[in-house]
Amino acid sequence: MNLPEPGDHEAGRLGARPTAPADKAWPLAPGLHPLGDAARSGALRVPSAPPPGPLPLIVMLHGATGTAERALRRIAPIADSALVLLPESLGRTWDVIEGGYGPDVARIDAALGRVLAAWPVDPTRLAIAGFSDGASYALSLALMNGDLFTHALCFSPGFAAPMGTAGRPRIFLSHGTEDRVLPIERCGRRLAGLLREGGHKLIYREFEGGHELPEDIAVTALAFLMAD
């Protein structure tokens, strides 16, 4: 199914696009910076030692009842390799699970628009990522916005609920074989099969463990993002 034009938030479509020149100076020092003064505004994590040139960008989405800080801790081993945008959901989890796309898509779009206008982001390494509910949401948004995101990094997702597809993002998906929260058979393995059937470029990794994100899985996902 074809999707509406970018910017239709109720259809899950993001309108933000990279606009800053590749040689633009960094507007903020390394560290964690709030995106706004309101509650659940999210944060931006600026790396201290990134690769030279334009910055890879990872939009990292938290799990149910999560926060920006908890999402950042999930990918701490790789956080210094990219600019990391850490939105927060308005509710206890992301809007599609609580009634439908719209409010959280709009908030992510606004935050992403500000970042892409201000920072020298590498348009060939623009990833949306998430853990648990955040991974389900990241995968859904990636499939609907593959004309923006080049990669999706999905750690222990439960489902995907795209209203259609746009573009062909590269997808990394991982899941623990002992996951008791989102069992691998009906979640990770099922999703991997569906993505392969759909012709998506997919790297799927299983690991011995539960509902978690091991360091070696995060490092493998980063290598996937940074590969030529």
Name the pLDDT band for 92 (thresholds 50, 70, 90): very high
Q: What is the CATH number for 176? A: 3.40.50.1820
Give the pLDDT confidence score for residue 49 in this predicted structure. 75
Count of Cβ atoms closer than 10 Å to residue 38 Cβ: 8
**Does residue 5 lie in a domain region?**
no
Give the pLDDT confidence score for residue 23 in this predicted structure. 86
DSSP 54-81: SEEEEEEE--TT--HHHHHHHTGGGGGG
The set of residues, in sequence order, having a beta carbon less than 8 Å from that of 118 and lying 6+ positions away, is 20, 24, 27
Section 59-80 average pLDDT? 96
**Does residue 20 lie in a domain region?**
no
Tokens describing residue 74: 């999930």
Q: Could you tell me how far CA 35 lies from the centroid of its own chain?
A: 17
Give the pLDDT confidence score for residue 1 in this predicted structure. 59
Distance CA 27, CA 145 (A): 27
For residue range 201-211, what is the model confidence (pLDDT) as tens digits? 999 999 999 99
Give the pLDDT confidence score for residue 144 in this predicted structure. 97
Give the pLDDT confidence score for residue 30 in this predicted structure. 95
**Does residue 8 lie in a domain region?**
no
**Does residue 10 lie in a domain region?**
no
Do 140 and 146 form a contact (C-beta atoms < 8 A)?
A: no
Section 127-135 average pLDDT? 98
Section 28-54 average pLDDT? 89
Name the pLDDT band for 3 (thresholds 50, 70, 90): confident
**Does residue 148 lie in a domain region?**
yes
Angle between helices 133-144 and 103-118 (to 10 degrees): 70
Tokens describing residue 9: 């938030």
Count of Cβ atoms closer than 10 Å to residue 110 Cβ: 17
Distance CA 63, CA 69 (A): 11
Report the number of distinct structural domains present in the chain: 1
Closest CA to 221 of 143, 108, 135: 135
**Does residue 221 lie in a domain region?**
yes
- Mean pLDDT, the chain, rounded, equals 95
Name the pLDDT band for 122 (thresholds 50, 70, 90): very high
Section 16-43 average pLDDT? 91
**What's the domain range around 118?**
32-226
Section 72-81 average pLDDT? 96
**Does residue 51 lie in a domain region?**
yes
Distance CA 106, CA 109 (A): 5
Distance CA 59, CA 44 (A): 9
**Does residue 164 lie in a domain region?**
yes
Do 137 and 61 form a contact (C-beta atoms < 8 A)?
A: yes
